[in-house]
Amino acid sequence: MSHVLLEISGSIALLTINRPDKLNALNGDVVGELACQLAGLEKNLDVRVAIVTGAGEKAFVAGADIAAMSNLTTAEAKHFSEVGHDLAARMEMSRLPLIAAVNGFALGGGCELALACDFIYASDNAKFGQPEVSLGVIPGFGGTQRLARRIGVGRAREWCMTGDIYSAEEALRVGLVNAVVPRPELLERVKATASKIASKGPLAIAACKRVILRGQDQGLDVATELESQAFAQLFGTKDQREGMKAFLEKRTATFEGK
């Protein structure tokens, strides 16, 4: 059985973590399959946006598979962490915008997986947290770093040190998620946003993602230079010419990603 289901509809890919009997907990197989699916989507230029969600009614990803981790050696734990970091980096560096549709528990590795996406929509029953300290460890897939960048250092310390679990509304309040919607409406809401993004210039979308990511830890002068370079480079593309021509002609642009 595949642990990551892939469904492509037009320009939108839906990736579903598929271990509902284990609340979609992450293990090496799941992480490897997700990385493999993302690599394939990178090569499919017809796909312009990807959505990540979890199978079943209870969980996005409830965490890493504790049974699989409990007897890891130090070296094995380091390797598992590195595999998770590699997946998160692949997600962040992808040309594709990735939207997390968090439809239940997003704890530990699940919260970290959502954080590696470009932004997060949550159902009203979603729960977030980094409870690893309750197990005597810390987040290992980037949670201490991406959470701090998303909600601020003070709150990230509180989340990681208490191990508390937070509601979707609290996650919205602190800026972790972009929207909270009723559970039955979540995927349709995310797909609507994905469709809107997919209709825009794909080279511009990829540049937007790249510049925001690379600029966030730079000084403003360096970051704005990154923006200026990317802005200028897009003027050498067919998409820029088509986009501006369509605007002047008062019609919808047809972008080719060239």
Distance from C-alpha of 177 to C-alpha of 159, rounded to nearest angstrom? 15
Distance from C-alpha of 146 to C-alpha of 153, rounded to nearest angstrom? 10
Given the DSSP bridges, would you call strands 119-123 and 165-167 parallel, antiparallel or unpaired?
Answer: unpaired
Range 200-223 burial, b when 16+ CB lie within 10 A, else e: bbbbbbbbbbbbeebbeeeeeeeb
pLDDT band of 80, cuts 50, 70, 90: very high
Taken in order of first residue, the domains within the chain and their CATH numbers are 4-198 (3.90.226.10), 202-248 (1.10.12.10)
Of 33, 112, 185, 188, the catalytic one is 112
User: Which residues make Cβ contacts (< 8 Å) with residue 2, sequence separation at least 6?
Assistant: 18, 33
In sequence order, what DSSP letters do the residues of 183-205 get, joined into one string?
GGGHHHHHHHHHHHHHTS-HHHH
* 1 pLDDT more than 90: no
The mean pLDDT of 173-180, rounded to a whole number, is 98
Rg (Cα) of the chain, in Å, rounded? 19
* 68 pLDDT more than 90: no
The structure's pTM equals 0.95
Tokens of 39: 């690599």
Phi, psi values for residue 70, rounded to 5°: -60, -30
* 254 pLDDT more than 80: yes
Distance from C-alpha of 215 to C-alpha of 197, rounded to nearest angstrom? 21
User: Is there a contact between 168 and 122 (Cβ–Cβ < 8 Å)?
Assistant: yes
| Percent share of the chain, pLDDT over 90 | 95
DSSP letter assigned to residue 231: H
Contacts by residues 213-220 (CB-CB < 8 Å, ≥ 24 positions apart): 213/92, 213/93, 216/149
User: Which residues make Cβ contacts (< 8 Å) with residue 160, sequence separation at least 6?
Assistant: 130, 132, 133, 138, 139, 143, 144, 147
* 32 pLDDT more than 90: yes
Of 7, 33, 132, 225, the catalytic one is 132
Phi, psi values for residue 48, rounded to 5°: -120, -15
Give me the residues paired with residue 12 across strands: 9, 49
Q: What does the pLDDT read at residue 8?
A: 97
112 is a catalytic site residue: yes
132 is a catalytic site residue: yes
| pLDDT tens digits, 106-121 | 999 999 999 999 999 9
Give me the residues paired with residue 179 across strands: 121
Total residues found in the chain within this entry: 258
Per the listing, tokens 């937070």 go with: 166
Tokens of 108: 């530990």
Q: What does the pLDDT read at residue 98?
A: 98
| pLDDT tens digits, 130-155 | 999 999 999 999 999 999 999 999 99
Give me the residues paired with residue 5 across strands: 16
